[in-house]
Structure 1
Amino acid sequence: MKRMWGSFPTIQRISWADGLVGVFIFALLYLLVRLTAEMNVPFSIQDEPHISLAWQSLPYYAARSLLRMFIAFFFSLLFTFIYGRTAARYKFAQKIMLPILDILQSIPVLGFLSATVTAFMALFPHSLLGLECASIFAIFTGQAWNMTFSFYQSVSTIPRELQEASNMVRLDAYARFTRLELPYSMIGLVWNSMLSFGGGWFFLAASESLSVDNHTVELPGIGSYIYTAINEGNVRAVVLGVITMMLLIVLVDQLFWRPIVAWSQKFKMDFSGSDDAPKSWFLQILRRSRLAEWVSTQVFGAAFRAIDQLMLRLAKREPTPVLRRPWTRAVRRTVLWCVFCALCVVVAVYGAMGVVEIVHLGLQDILHIVWLGALTMLRVMTSTFIAILWTVPVGILIGLNPKASRIAQPLIQMAASFPTNTLYPLVTMIFVAVGISFQIGAVPLMMLGTQWYILFSVIAGAMAIPNDLKEATRVLGLRGWERWKHLLLPSVFPYLVTGCMTASGGAWNASILAEFVVWKSKVHAASGLGAFLDETAAAHHWANFIVALIVMSAFVVLINHFVWRPMFRLAEKRYHFD
Structure 2
Amino acid sequence: MAIPKIASNIFPSWANGFFFLAASEIISLGNVKYELKGIGSRIVRLIANNDYMGLYIALTFSALLSVLLTELIFRPLLIWSEKYKLETIAKPMPVTEVWLGRLSLRRVRRIGRRIALKVPSFDLRRRVKVVYYPKLVKGFSSAFKVLVPVSLISFLMLLIIASKDFRDALMLLTELNYLKYTALALIYSTLRILATSLLTMCWIIPLAFYLYFRPKLERLTLLIFQVLASIPAPLFYPVILKVFKGSLIELGVILMLMLASQWYLFYNIYDGLKRFPYELEEVLNLYRVKGLYKLKVALVPAIMPSLFTGLVTFIGGCWNALVIAEELRPGVGVNIGIGKELISYTNAGYLPGLYATLLIMVLFIMGLNKGLWRPLRDYIMNRFSYEA
Relative to the length of structure 1, the TM-score reads 0.58
1:568 maps onto 2:377 in alignment: yes
Q: Give the structure 1 partner of residue 168 of structure 2.
A: 358
User: Aligned in 2, Cα 1:222/1:298: closer, same or farther, shift over 3 Å?
Assistant: farther
1:414 maps onto 2:227 in alignment: yes
CA distance in 1, matches of 2:115, 2:307: 38
Q: Give the structure 2 partner of residue 543 of structure 1.
A: 352
The Cα shift of 1:244 comes to 2.1
CA distance in 1, matches of 2:216, 2:67: 18
The Cα shift of 1:379 comes to 0.4
The Cα shift of 1:447 comes to 0.8
The Cα shift of 1:266 comes to 1.9
Letter in 2 for 1:491: A
1:266 maps onto 2:266 in alignment: no
CA distance in 2, matches of 1:542, 1:229: 31
Of 361, 371, 378 in structure 1, the residue corresponding to residue 191 of structure 2 is 378
CA distance in 2, matches of 1:493, 1:209: 38
CA distance in 1, matches of 2:222, 2:66: 12
The Cα shift of 1:356 comes to 6.5
The Cα shift of 1:461 comes to 0.7
CA distance in 1, matches of 2:335, 2:122: 53
1:423 maps onto 2:236 in alignment: yes
Q: Give the structure 1 partner of residue 22 of structure 2.
A: 205
- Residues 188-212 of structure 1: CA distance to partner in whole angstroms, max 9, x if unpaired? 2111111111111111112222459
The number of residue pairs the alignment matches comes to: 377
- Unaligned runs of at least 5 residues, structure 2: none
CA distance in 2, matches of 1:207, 1:304: 41
User: Aligned in 2, Cα 1:321/1:573: closer, same or farther, shift over 3 Å?
Assistant: closer
The Cα shift of 1:569 comes to 0.9
The higher relative CO (CA closer than 8 Å, separation ≥ 6) is in 2
User: Aligned in 2, Cα 1:267/1:224: closer, same or farther, shift over 3 Å?
Assistant: same
User: Aligned in 2, Cα 1:462/1:369: closer, same or farther, shift over 3 Å?
Assistant: same
The Cα shift of 1:419 comes to 2.1
- Residues 483-535 of structure 1: CA distance to partner in whole angstroms, max 9, x if unpaired? 112211121111111110010010010011111112xx773444211122112
Q: Give the structure 2 partner of residue 445 of structure 1.
A: 256
Letter in 1 for 2:317: G
User: Aligned in 2, Cα 1:321/1:506: closer, same or farther, shift over 3 Å?
Assistant: closer
CA distance in 2, matches of 1:487, 1:226: 46
- Residues 136-165 of structure 1: CA distance to partner in whole angstroms, max 9, x if unpaired? xxxxxxxxxxxxxxxxxxxxxxxxxxxxxx
The Cα shift of 1:425 comes to 2.5
1:290 maps onto 2:106 in alignment: yes
Letter in 2 for 1:188: K
Name the SS of the counterpart of 1:423 in structure 2: helix
- Residues 357-401 of structure 1: CA distance to partner in whole angstroms, max 9, x if unpaired? 222432202221221121111101110121122212211332343
The Cα shift of 1:412 comes to 2.0
Contact 1:400 1:463 (8 Å CA) reproduced: no
- Unaligned runs of at least 5 residues, structure 1: 1-183, 323-328
User: Aligned in 2, Cα 1:307/1:204: closer, same or farther, shift over 3 Å?
Assistant: farther
Letter in 1 for 2:109: E
Of 197, 212, 228 in structure 1, the residue corresponding to residue 45 of structure 2 is 228
Of 81, 90, 96 in structure 2, the residue corresponding to residue 279 of structure 1 is 96
User: Aligned in 2, Cα 1:308/1:232: closer, same or farther, shift over 3 Å?
Assistant: farther
Q: Give the structure 1 partner of residue 72 of structure 2.
A: 255
Contact 1:400 1:462 (8 Å CA) reproduced: no
Please show how residues 142-221 of structure 1 align to structure 2 within 5 Å.
184-210=1-27, 214-221=31-38
The Cα shift of 1:278 comes to 5.3
Of 380, 387, 395 in structure 1, the residue corresponding to residue 200 of structure 2 is 387
CA distance in 1, matches of 2:154, 2:135: 35
Q: Give the structure 2 partner of residue 495 of structure 1.
A: 306
User: Aligned in 2, Cα 1:476/1:470: closer, same or farther, shift over 3 Å?
Assistant: same
The Cα shift of 1:260 comes to 1.4
CA distance in 2, matches of 1:446, 1:524: 13
Name the SS of the counterpart of 2:244 in structure 1: helix
User: Aligned in 2, Cα 1:379/1:276: closer, same or farther, shift over 3 Å?
Assistant: same
Query: RMSD value over aligned CA atoms?
Result: 3.5
User: Aligned in 2, Cα 1:364/1:270: closer, same or farther, shift over 3 Å?
Assistant: same
- Residues 393-440 of structure 1: CA distance to partner in whole angstroms, max 9, x if unpaired? 2113323432121221211222334324421331221112xx652134
User: Aligned in 2, Cα 1:531/1:343: closer, same or farther, shift over 3 Å?
Assistant: closer
CA distance in 2, matches of 1:450, 1:495: 16
- Residues 320-372 of structure 1: CA distance to partner in whole angstroms, max 9, x if unpaired? 989xxxxxx99xx7x99888776666566666676762224322022212211
1:462 maps onto 2:273 in alignment: yes
The Cα shift of 1:464 comes to 0.9
Letter in 2 for 1:452: W
Deviates more, 1:239-248 or 1:220-229: 239-248
Letter in 2 for 1:473: L
- Identical pairs, percent: 24
Of 178, 198, 215 in structure 2, the residue corresponding to residue 402 of structure 1 is 215
- Residues 277-320 of structure 1: CA distance to partner in whole angstroms, max 9, x if unpaired? 1523323124x3213334666779975849975x75xx59x8x9
User: Aligned in 2, Cα 1:302/1:419: closer, same or farther, shift over 3 Å?
Assistant: farther
Contact 1:269 1:464 (8 Å CA) reproduced: no
